[in-house]
Structures are given as structure tokens and as C-alpha cells.
Structure 1
Amino acid sequence: MSNARTLGRNRRTPQTGPRAKFSQLVPYLLEHKAVLSVVIVLSILGAAASLAQPLLVSQLITVVQANEPLGNLVWVLVALVVVAALISGYQHYLLQRTGEGVVLSSRRQLVARMLHLPIAEFDTRRTGDLVSRVGSDTTLLRAVLTQGLVDAIGGSLTFIGALIAMLIIDPVLLGLTLLVITVSVVTVVLLAARIRTASLQAQTKVGDLAAAVERAISAVRTVRASNATDREIAAVGEEAKGAWSAGIRVASISALVVPVAGIAMQVSLLVVLGVGGFRVASGAITVASLVAFILFLFMLIMPLGTAFGAITSVNSALGALGRIQEIIELPSETDYDREIAPLADVTPNELSALLSMDDTAIAFEDVHFAYARTRSDEADPDNESADEHLPEGNVTDRQPVLRGVSFSAPRGQRTALVGPSGAGKSTILALIERFYDPSVGVVRLAGLDIRTLPRTELRAQIGYVEQDAPVLAGTLRENLMLATPDATDEECERVLRAVNLGEVLERNPLGLSAPVGEDGVMLSGGERQRLAIARALLAAPPILLLDESTSSLDGVNEQMMRAAIDAVAEGRTLIVIAHRLSTVVDSDQIVVLDHGEVVGTGTHSELVASTPLYKELAKHQLLV
């Protein structure tokens, strides 16, 4: 079964994605255990300084009532207040720094997993939603530290200390206080589950909004040209409204937590003042003890409020963490390799040697393949380009794109793939690059099943120029050196001039440092295509895959491009896709595909005589 098909069946939509458990959050915290240990020690010291203050106040009241000198009691109390404030400030700084560290590590881990996912995952996921997980979802993890969790740990120490002190002062008052607190705690616990669910839904809506914005911005020129700007604004506005509504639901549930703590504080204070005043009047406790009890009551309630806030923050973070973990737990490309076959024990040098000796560079043996597809895509089963950008939805199996394809590409020769749109030509190149694996059959490189080769070593032997010639935002140099980071400026300029991009170098004084814009918008379509080809030529691998590499070029540039490719192709294996047969008639071998099947193989003259489809194509292009 193909990777795409397996992924399609196992994939969970954001609406049904898992909610993370607290245990999944712990590893992120343990990365900063040294700092957190310091924070916990500071929490203990801060709790001790706070708990000592009511005792000193009680002692001060007793001394004043006895008309005795205060001595250093006032200064000790002031010192405790200052120390507690300093500890709190430094603790806050450490928590903020650690929170940023948690966000950083989660983003690195998430991006690393995303960029190692099988290509089939990107076929069925929206770019904006993935970006939202890296930006918005990871940010919520910071709140776990900065808005409650570690504060709650320190607060629990204060809570326990205050509880013990209040038990010693007056068990009756403590019992009444705990009755009120218990009711508030039960209420918050019941709200916690609803907060987590609402937070997950809110983050999903934020992902939908990011996807809608990305869609509109990435196609802004098409949107403007189609006079669809207002419709796109309305569509994005609907997504924004959905995110707003989800956020309001979180706010409305979280808002219930805040008054619970306030009510608990007020009711407890009223009970203590009323019952406590009666007990002072009856002589059960002293005024000093009542004042100390009230101060301890504040220390009991304040950590409780912090704990309530921590519950809200942690539940929001766990909702976001569920979306993060959904991506992190997806199998990467290499995870599939361990399931398919053990990796061959071949070094890069040995693989290069095999390619230089074996007469066949690439071979397809009875290869069948079907993309994962969505139900919304079923109306157009033969649209090969739709396979590359599948929309969101429930995934089913596509009709086969390749049906028993067998052919070989001799080493050092040029093999052309021709045929009508949707015949499976681009899919063949994607299988050679191992963006996908065959459902049935084998693809071989120098006689080795490519599924037994490490993907990095396989791709190091192959240069690939895609049909849409993507250009990365950045500079000319950054685009050229993507596959060859050690290339010199002289080498970069040489390949640019070889593909007739010398004018691009000269029209900007920055030269190789000239920006190309988002998606190469500062270059023409032909220039983007030539830049992509220059990138492959600079790497100069033993095998070159060119998918419609001259489709956007005029006649003059096409001839120059063919000359550059011919120069670099000497001694290398080329597999070329072309709709214009004039660019491939001189190929050593032409493979004709139709509806995912090989219907002819040979030279131009042989195919004109033996293959009706090829003859028809050549006739329409005035080559017969």
C-alpha cells in the first residue's frame, strides 16, 4: 500500500484531533529543569517569607497591647516584605525566559517534523493551518509557565503553610473556610473540561483563518485580475468571525472561573469576620490571633486564585498542544523506510560508483501507483495536476495514475517522456525522487530498489526541476546554493550566464545578492524557470530530471537553454518531460505514455512508424 494511501486513511482532521494529556507537556518543561528547580527553590523561600509576615503582625499586636517596646520587629517585617517582593520579581523573570525557551523548543521540534513529513501529508493539509500551529499554538505553551503552573506550585506551599497555621489558631474557623473553598474548587474542576474543548476549537478556527489569509495573499494577483477582492475579503471575514466566536466561547467559560475565586474570597472573609468576631467576644481566641487568621486567609485564597488561573492556562495550552502533537506524532519519510525494507549498506561513493558502471541508471518494473484523493476531487480522476494540491476533506483512494509502467533509462543518455496531460509523466519523476512509493512494482537506481536507499543519498544523485519552477523568497545566491551550499560566486555566475540570466545579474547592482521577491515575483515566468534549471545545473548530479523545463521560454531562450543542458548533460543521465516534441526529437529514447501506461518506446522516427498516439502528437506539432 502506498504511503499516500496509508496517510490518507490515518489522518485526523483538526476537528477530531486529539487533546493532549498533561504528561505530553512534561517533556517540554523538563528541558528547562535546572531553571525550574531554581524557580521552585525561590517559591519555597518566597512562601516562607510570606508565611512569616502574619506571625510577626500577630506578635506586633500582642506587644502593642502589652505596652512593650517593639524592638526590631518592625524592621524584620519590612525586610520580609522586601525580600518576598525581590524573590517574586526574579522568579517572574525566570519564568518568562523559560516560557520563551519552551516556545522555542516546541517550534523547532514542530518545524523539523513538518519538513520531514511525507509529501502526501502536504497534499491533504493547508499551508496556513500548518503555519498557525507553529505560530499561534506554540505561543500558548508559554502561558503554562508565565500564567500559573509554577506559580501554582509555589502557591501550593503557601496554601499548605497557611492551612496549618489556621488549623493551629482556630480549627472551627478553618472548617467553615474550607467548606466555602471546597464548593469553589468543585465548580472550577467542572469548568476545566469545557475550557479545554473550547480552546481546541478556538485554535482550530485560528488555523482555518490563517489558511484563508494564506490562500488570498498567495493568489492576490489572480484575485485582483478576477475582480474577486471583495469576495475574498468576505470569505476571510467569515473565517475571522468563526475564530472570534470560538474565542468568545473560551472567554465566556473562562470568565466563570474569575468570579468563583472572588466569591470564595468574599464569603470566606465575611464568615471569618462574623464568626471570628463572636469567638473573640467569647474569649475563644484573641484579637491578635483573629488578625493573623485573616492574613493567613488571604494567603490561602490568593494561591487558590492562582491555581484557578493555572487551570485555565493549562487547559488552553493542552488544547494547542494537541494540535502540535498531532503533527509531531505523524510518521516521517524515514519512518516508512523502516517498515518497507532495511536500508542498503551503500555509501555515497559506492552509490556514485554503481551509477558510473551500471548500463541502466533508472528502471521501472511493472509500477502501479495511485494518489490519495479527497471525495471532492472524484469528479476529475484523470487530472494529474490536481493530485499535487489536494483540497482538505475526507480521503479515499484515487484511480490508478500508473498502470504497470516498465521502461529503463540508459546511463549517460537522454530519455524523454511524452504523452497527453494526465498520462502520468510528472508522477514518474515524483516516484524517482521518492516523494511517493509505488503501490506495486519496483523503481531501481543502478539496479538497486530505491526504497532500500537512504533518501538523502538517493536525492544527492538526482537534480530535479519541477514543472512550476518554484523560486524561494530570498536572493539569487540563496536560490542557487540551495542544493550546493559550498558553491562559489564565480560558479553561481557561470551557471546563470549559461541559462541566459546574465541580464538579471547586471540589472541590479546587488548582483547575486539581489532579492527575487516572494515566490520569485520580481522575475518573469521564464526567468524563474531558468533560475530553477541553473540551480540543478550548479549541483551537476549524475541524473537530471526536467519536468517541462522549457515550457515558459521563448524560441531564443529555449535554444540557449537546450545548449546549456546539452553541455552539462555530457556523461549524465537525463529524463525529460516535454509537451513540445521539438525539444525532445533528438533524444536517445522517447517513452510514450497514455492513461498511465507505456504505449511506445523508441526514437522519434521509430515511434512515428510504430505508435499511432505519438504520430498524432507529432502531426499536430508539424513534425511529420
Structure 2
Amino acid sequence: MTRLFAQYGRPEWYLLALAVVTSLFGRTVALVPPLVLGVAIDAVFVGNTTYTLPLVPAAWLPTTRIEGLWFSVALVVGALVSSVLLTWAQGVGFSLFSNRVQHRVRVDAYEAMQGLDMSFFDDKQTGQVMSILNNDVRNLKSFLNGTVGGVVQLLVTVTAIAGILVYLNAQLALVTLVAVPLLATFTVWFMRTVRPLYRTLRQSVGDLNTRIENNLAGIEVIKTSSTEGFETGRVEDASWASYLRTWAVVKLEYLYQPGMELMAGVAFAVTFVVGGLWLVTGPPGPFTGTLLVGEFVTFLFMTQRFVDPLAGAGRIVNSYENARASAERIFDLSDRPVLVGESDSPVALPRDEVAGRIEYDDVAFGYRTESPVLTGVSFTVEPGETVAFVGPTGAGKSTLAKLLLRLYDVDAGSIRVDGIDVRDLSLVDLRRAVGYVGQDVYLFDGTVRENLQYGAFDASHEEMVAAARAAEAHEFVSRLPDGYDTRIGERGVKLSGGQRQRLSIARAMLQDPAILVLDEATSSVDTETELYIQRALDALTEGRTTVVIAHRLSTVRGADLVLVLDEGGVAEHGTHDELLARPGLYATLWGIQAGDTDGLPGALLERLARRSESSADG
């Protein structure tokens, strides 16, 4: 919480200062009416004392009872008006301060999250991240807006009232103030007990968000599988777990809040009894001196105002602990180390100077929780050539492409573009030089135009249309209700799979990369749509260095180099014709896809079957 104020509150210090100062004066001014009332009772209505107020020069005070009446009225009205204005200024200050801090925290947390490598997203559930960026950030805003002001009011009110009570009657003040150390001790116990409960509560909220987010994303699968009842049960379990953790906190709150109110109320009752006896029978017990009626009335009013902020300390502590748990999660996200980051002195790779030569030199890689996926992979692709990765499922084909884009970093060896290690290149330059078209196309909720120009924001309308024509997309886009300004829904749900794929190809064309990665770009469409897409891909790959990942071997027949991956390494390499000319894994895969397995090695077929079963089990 110290870091929250130091890092994000400091730039907005003037707003916080405005809120704190106006809150301080507002709470002080609010104590004027009960103080004036007590003085007026003794000096104006009863008339047994002179009119005196603390910190007010005697020359300013009235000398007659009628002057004292109107002076008291003026002070009370002035105090009420001033309190309203100061309260308004306090609210504006805290609101501006909290909302600006919330904005900056959310943006910085998102930026930090966006800069993390893909291994973070492999492990982290979307709902957990959403909970941090939304729920936890809102918790901080609520704390800064309401609770910080509550702390200031509590401190000012308690300090000012304690001073006034001691000024009026130090002996009776001790009776009232004896509750303060008891309340403080009770508060410390509550904070230590509730803190771990809030951590688990924030975690359970994230788990519930994850479950709901997953189900919304997979609603089509749920409906087509008739598993609505099963998923309702899983949401119910996650909601119940959140309820139990919430109840654990609430039970403690229901003990703490009434306990604070009880102790503060007892202090008020004891003050009332002692003061009442003092007026009726004289100083009770060890007490000495006199107590005026006006003083006692002021004491009762002040004590009541003293009780309310002390009883409200529970809400302040509750909000603080909730915000503290949220701040821990936010800064844990912000402080997570970036495993794939910029070099200290990145090498620039201007877009118009990229030749497109790719070299993999003895590359090895394994995901953090798995055994090595790739070992000893080496090959070279000259500018303008096409290399194809083929092989059984799980052989590491897509991983090789992700390493080129530096979505992950190699564990050993190196990958070079135009002779420069990709780890030494600027990430922006590298990823602008490498275009990616995958099987699972992602389109943003927006218009066709916004999705095509994504990553090429300065492209003109004519350039966009030319890219769409080349990608065989212009014709169907023109038939949409609003053409290029038609909204296509989240993930492009209003379009067919083939239409989404052609838009992704057009987007890649508009970005004009020197190197192109095609990851199963035609594997999930029908034959007619595949023809459209293949023609678009032929236009896209012309003159570019291209990496093709494919299960359908018919799509890689024209590749300059085919790498056959198996069990993390390169089992074979060559052109399509060269690989078919000799017995091996490629020839076996080709025979299987062609429906001709006669004469193929039985041991190899058996091994492929086992790999397929293993993949299905996984």
C-alpha cells in the first residue's frame, strides 16, 4: 500500500492534498455547533458564566446575552454552510484522485501483462487476469475514494474531540477516552486475522470469473454436447467456494463491527452516568471540581460524535485489508519477470531492408513443465524460399515457428534472421518482419475495416481493398450489409470459417511482411474454400520467405525444403520428390494420406498408431 501511494499517488499529490485539507477543516468545522451549543446554554440561556470559546480572542466575543444568542446563531449557520462546501470539495478531490490512480494502475498492469512471454499465458487462466485488471483495480479505487477520506476524518475527529473534551473537563474526558486503547487492540487483532482470509477470497473470485469466462467462450460446445447441467454444477461449485470464503470474512466482520460499537457505546454510557451523577449529586468518587450543564451537553454531543468514527474504524480496516490483498495481486502481476524481452542494445531491422534469410542452428527447446520438445534442429532457408514443417502431431512443428517470432526463447542454439540472432533484434522490428496466418483465426469485435487495418493502421482504403482482392475476400465483404464497415462480432462469429481465414490473409498482406508463417492455414475448411484460400496464399507468398506448417502433405509439394520432424528432431529433409523417392517417415505419411499403405514399413505404421493413441489420450 505504501508503494501504491508512492508510485501512483505522488503524481496526483495536489488532489490528495486538496481532499485531505478540506476533509480536515470540514471535520473540524462540524464540531463547532455542539461546542457553541454548550457555551450558549451556560452563558446565554442560564447566564451563570461569561461567553468563552477556545482559540477565539476575548475582544471578538459578545458581552451581553442577546449578543451571545445572535453570535451563536451566526457561528452555527456559518459552520453548517462551511461544512457543506468543504465536504463537496473533499468529495471532488478524493474522487478525482482515486479515479486517476485507478486509470494509471489498470493501464500499467495491462501493459506489464501484455509484455509477458507466452509461458505466462500458458499457465494463467483468463478469468484470473480479468479479475486482477477489473475487480482488484476497482477495490483500490474504492479504498482511495472512500476509505482514505474515512481515515482522515477518523484521525481529525478523534483528535479534535479529545482536545475539546480535555479542554472542557480533563477528568471526565479520561472516562470517555479509556475506550481508545481497547478499541485499538481489538482492531490490531482483527487486521491480523482477516488478512489471510482476504487473500483466499480474492483468489476465489478469480476462479469463479475463470469458470464463467471459459463457459461463455465455449457455449457452442456446451449446447451441442447437452452439458448445460454439468456446467451449471461446475459454476455452482465455484460460486459456493467463493461464498464460503466470503462468509469467512463476513463472520469476522460481524464480530468486529458490533464489538467496536459495543465498546464505544459503553464509553458513552459510562460518560453519561458519571456526568449525570456529577450534576445531580456533585463530583462522584475521586472526581473534583464543578461540571456545568452546558459543558455536560457538549460532552454528550462530542462523545456521540466520538463514538461513530470509532465504530466506523471497522469499515476502514475491512476496506484496507481488502485493498491490500488486491494490491498484492496487482503488483505480483506487474513485477513478474519478463523472460522474453528486449536486448539491452537491440539491433534495428528496418522493414524495407529485410532479405528474409532464416537459420536455425542446433536449436533446443522445452516448455517449463515438459521434457524437451525440440533438440538439435538445424536448417537454412534462403530469401524467397519456402520451407515446410511436417510430421506427426506433437512433433514440434508449431513450436519451431513460435521460436522464430520469439513468443518463446530457445533453451540452446540460436535462430538468425539475415544473420542476426533474433534475441539481439528489436522485438517490434522482428515481429513486423514476420507475418503469421494460423488455423485458429482471431478477429476482434469491430468492423471488417478495423480488423484488416490492424497492425497496418496507416494503410489507405485503396491498399486495404487491394489486399482483400488478393486474398479472395473483397467479393464476400462487398455483399455484407455495410461492406467494410460491417461489424463482425466477437471473434468474427458472424462470418464463416473460410471468410475469417481470408480476412486474416488479407490482414497479413496489408502488413507486407518479408517472412511469412502459415500454420495449418487451410486444414479446417472445405475443398471449395480451400481452393480460394490456396489461391490467396499463392499471391501472399510470392517473393517472400515462407514457413509452412501442414498436416496435408499435398499443400507442401512445391516447397523448396521439407523438414520431417519426429520426436523433437529432424528425421528427414529434402524436396517432396526426394523424400518420396526413399522409404521413410514422409513416404509413410504420404501413403497414409493417399490411402495406400501397401509396402509401407509395418514397424513405422505401428509407431505412428501408438503416437496417435498417445496424443488422443493426452
8 Å CA contact 2:501–2:533 kept in 1: the answer is no
Deviation at 1:572, TM superposition (A): 1.4
The residue number in structure 2 matching 1:76 is 75
Larger Rg: 2
> For 2:216, what is the secondary structure of its paired residue?
helix
The residue number in structure 2 matching 1:348 is 349
> For 2:564, what is the secondary structure of its paired residue?
strand
Distance 1:556 1:316 in 2: 57
8 Å CA contact 2:349–2:425 kept in 1: the answer is no
Distance 1:450 1:237 in 2: 47
> For 1:568, what is the secondary structure of its paired residue?
helix
Distance 2:548 2:130 in 1: 34
8 Å CA contact 1:367–1:440 kept in 2: the answer is yes
The residue number in structure 1 matching 2:526 is 554
Answer yes or no: is 1:41 the counterpart of 2:21. yes
AA at the equivalent of 2:345: L
Distance 2:362 2:349 in 1: 27
Distance 2:401 2:345 in 1: 22
Query: Which of 291, 295, 299 does residue 293 from structure 1 map onto?
Result: 299
Deviation at 1:439, TM superposition (A): 0.9
Alignment of 1:158-557 (within 5 A): 158-280=157-279, 281-282=281-282, 284-332=290-338, 336-338=341-343, 342-344=344-346, 346-349=347-350, 352-353=352-353, 355-356=354-355, 361-373=357-369, 398-557=370-529
Deviation at 1:575, TM superposition (A): 0.8
Answer yes or no: is 1:612 the counterpart of 2:584. yes
Distance 1:486 1:147 in 2: 44
The residue number in structure 2 matching 1:596 is 568
Deviation at 1:25, TM superposition (A): 4.8
AA at the equivalent of 2:329: R
The residue number in structure 2 matching 1:581 is 553
8 Å CA contact 1:409–1:575 kept in 2: the answer is no
> For 1:247, what is the secondary structure of its paired residue?
helix
Deviation at 1:513, TM superposition (A): 1.5
> For 1:582, what is the secondary structure of its paired residue?
helix
The residue number in structure 1 matching 2:40 is 60
8 Å CA contact 1:599–1:611 kept in 2: the answer is no
Distance 1:123 1:534 in 2: 28
Distance 2:275 2:532 in 1: 96
8 Å CA contact 2:439–2:522 kept in 1: the answer is no
> For 2:487, what is the secondary structure of its paired residue?
coil
> For 1:474, what is the secondary structure of its paired residue?
coil
Deviation at 1:303, TM superposition (A): 3.0
Deviation at 1:228, TM superposition (A): 0.5
Distance 1:186 1:578 in 2: 68
Deviates more, 1:361-370 or 1:165-174: 165-174
8 Å CA contact 2:359–2:415 kept in 1: the answer is yes
AA at the equivalent of 1:366: D
Deviates more, 1:295-304 or 1:247-256: 295-304
Deviation at 1:224, TM superposition (A): 0.9
Give aligned pairs, total: 570
AA at the equivalent of 2:70: G
Summarize the Cα distance change of 1:254–1:146 in structure 2 as closer, same or farther, 3 Å threshold: farther
Deviation at 1:22, TM superposition (A): 4.2
Distance 1:275 1:545 in 2: 86
8 Å CA contact 1:591–1:598 kept in 2: the answer is yes
Summarize the Cα distance change of 1:477–1:332 in structure 2 as closer, same or farther, 3 Å threshold: farther
Flag the structure with more relative contact order, 1 or 2, with Cα contacts below 8 A and sequence separation at least 6: 1
Deviates more, 1:158-167 or 1:27-36: 27-36
Alignment of 1:20-169 (within 5 A): 21-62=1-42, 63-66=44-47, 68-69=65-66, 70-169=69-168
The residue number in structure 2 matching 1:385 is none
Deviation at 1:258, TM superposition (A): 2.1
Aligned-residue Cα RMSD (Å) equals: 2.1
> For 1:72, what is the secondary structure of its paired residue?
helix
Residue ranges of structure 2 left out of the alignment (5+ in a row): 49-64, 283-288, 597-618
> For 1:484, what is the secondary structure of its paired residue?
coil
Deviation at 1:623, TM superposition (A): 10
8 Å CA contact 1:152–1:306 kept in 2: the answer is no
> For 1:364, what is the secondary structure of its paired residue?
strand
> For 1:147, what is the secondary structure of its paired residue?
helix
Deviates more, 1:472-481 or 1:228-237: 472-481
Summarize the Cα distance change of 1:403–1:347 in structure 2 as closer, same or farther, 3 Å threshold: closer
Distance 2:345 2:438 in 1: 27
Deviation at 1:26, TM superposition (A): 4.3
8 Å CA contact 1:418–1:425 kept in 2: the answer is yes
> For 2:459, what is the secondary structure of its paired residue?
coil
> For 1:621, what is the secondary structure of its paired residue?
helix
1:486-531: per-residue Cα shift (whole Å, max 9, x none)?
1222222222232222343133221112122222221222222222
Distance 1:236 1:319 in 2: 24
AA at the equivalent of 2:266: V
> For 2:480, what is the secondary structure of its paired residue?
coil
8 Å CA contact 1:22–1:318 kept in 2: the answer is no
Distance 2:5 2:395 in 1: 48
Deviation at 1:611, TM superposition (A): 5.4
> For 1:242, what is the secondary structure of its paired residue?
helix
8 Å CA contact 2:505–2:536 kept in 1: the answer is no
- Report the identity percentage: 32
Distance 2:181 2:235 in 1: 45
1:367-425: per-residue Cα shift (whole Å, max 9, x none)?
1110123xxxxxxxxxxxxxxxxxxxxxxxx1111111001111111111111111111
Distance 2:593 2:188 in 1: 74
8 Å CA contact 1:188–1:260 kept in 2: the answer is no
Which portions of structure 1, spanning 4 or more consecutive aligned residues, are displaced by more than 6 angstroms?
Answer: none
Distance 1:303 1:217 in 2: 44
Deviates more, 1:302-311 or 1:361-370: 302-311
8 Å CA contact 2:502–2:536 kept in 1: the answer is no
> For 1:571, what is the secondary structure of its paired residue?
coil
Distance 2:214 2:113 in 1: 19
8 Å CA contact 1:364–1:442 kept in 2: the answer is yes
Deviation at 1:591, TM superposition (A): 1.4
8 Å CA contact 1:152–1:303 kept in 2: the answer is no
Distance 1:478 1:611 in 2: 49
Deviation at 1:556, TM superposition (A): 3.6
TM-score w.r.t. structure 1 length?
Answer: 0.87
Residue ranges of structure 1 left out of the alignment (5+ in a row): 1-20, 374-397
Distance 1:143 1:255 in 2: 21
AA at the equivalent of 1:408: T
